[in-house]
Amino acid sequence: MSDYHDLSAEERALLRAAIDGPLMDRDPIVLGLCLRLCGRRLLQRAGSAAAANGWRGSPHAFVLTCDGWCLVKAERARGPLRQSA
């Protein structure tokens, strides 16, 4: 699994945005970032599996994979370090 810190700020922002819902590939820059994250197995095309589960959006949208979800979830669980006085 990829390390969250190996990703660019834009890629991390896309992964966080994918928690709220599928990412649409209308912008060429976003499409490039999504395809790069697909190569790292953190995102995947929604495709027919999402449609079979009742989602009526574009089959060309991107959703988090299990690895992507685990990576974002682990990053969100990390809180800021506390300093003791």
pLDDT tens series, the chain, 85 aa: 556 668 899 999 999 998 888 888 778 888 899 999 999 999 988 877 666 767 676 767 888 888 999 988 888 776 665 556 5
CA distance 3 to 56: 32
**pLDDT, position 42:** 93
Q: Which domain holds residue 62?
A: 4-77
**pLDDT, position 11:** 92
- Is residue 83 in some structural domain? no
CA 34 to chain CA centroid, nearest Å: 8
**pLDDT, position 20:** 87
- Is residue 84 in some structural domain? no
- Is residue 85 in some structural domain? no
Q: SS3 of 74, please?
A: helix
Total count of domains within the chain? 1
